[in-house]
């Protein structure tokens, strides 16, 4: 089966929200014609029709103008109001690989979002790769909440509160990610891990 390209994946994810269908249902429920909605928003009726039929994906400013006319929030178009239980599958070929920062000359890690299509999730899950790093300091980072790592293969050093912690295949770690920390892949192949981040407890 042919793998999706990045733009194809993005379009598929956006189309899964059925924004056009929700827009059409909202307009018909409010008994507003395409022409009248066009007058209120400054958009042409033909453009609105293409949005409703899923032939075009609206930009956020365009959607915000429409939402203001109907006095609804943007969550009306992106929330799931059908009462369905969460169930989301992400195929291996659909994921996209990103460096820790786009401008990093030698990224300390690369990551793929494992559940990017899920809505309302209380955690974020990643497949992370930690390449072997050259000698020298590694930039520390921090974020609110906590972080869990499970090493799938390879060797990884995590620097936390001034101490280097060595992790090998099968090891796991749970830490307060609001504390500055850094990663360094070791050995010939670095490391690969499942990383789960959780928001802070209230």
Banded pLDDT at 194 (limits 50, 70, 90): very high
Question: Distance between CA 150 and CA 169 in Å, rounded?
Answer: 8
* Of residues 2 and 78, more confidently modeled: 78
Give CA angle at 73 (120, 67), nearest 5°.
135
| pLDDT attached to residue 200 | 85
Phi, psi (deg, nearest 5) at residue 91: -75, 150
Count of all residues that appear for the chain in the document: 202
Per residue in 80-129, pLDDT tens?
A: 655 567 777 888 887 888 898 877 788 889 999 888 767 667 888 999 99
Domains of the chain: 18-78 (1.10.260.40), 92-198 (2.60.120.10)
Whether the model pTM is above 0.75: no
Distance CA(42)–CA(32), nearest Å, equals: 14
Q: What single-letter DSSP state applies at residue 19?
A: H
**pLDDT the model gives residue 35:** 92
- Mean pLDDT of the 190-200 span: 94
């Amino acid at each position: 089966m042919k793998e999706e390209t990045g733009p194809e994946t993005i379009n598929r994810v956006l189309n899964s929200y059925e924004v056009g269908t929700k827009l059409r249902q909202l307009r018909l429920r409010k008994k507003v014609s395409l022409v009248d909605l066009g007058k209120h928003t400054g958009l042409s009726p033909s453009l609105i029709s293409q949005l409703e039929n899923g032939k075009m994906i609206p930009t956020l400013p365009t959607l915000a103008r429409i939402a203001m006319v109907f006095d609804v929030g943007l969550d009306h178009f992106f929330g799931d109001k059908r009462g369905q239980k969460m169930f989301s599958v992400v195929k291996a070929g659909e994921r996209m690989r990103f460096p820790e920062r786009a401008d990093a000359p030698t990224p300390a890690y690369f990551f793929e979002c494992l559940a990017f299509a899920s809505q309302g999730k209380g955690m974020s899950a990643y497949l992370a790769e930690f390449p072997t790093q050259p000698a020298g300091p590694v930039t520390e980072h921090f974020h609110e909440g906590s972080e869990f790592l499970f090493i799938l293969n390879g060797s990884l050093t995590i620097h936390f509160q001034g101490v280097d912690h060595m992790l090998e295949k099968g090891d796991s770690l749970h830490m307060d990610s609001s504390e500055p920390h850094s990663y360094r892949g070791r050995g010939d192949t670095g490391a690969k891990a499942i990383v789960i981040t959780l928001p802070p407890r209230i």
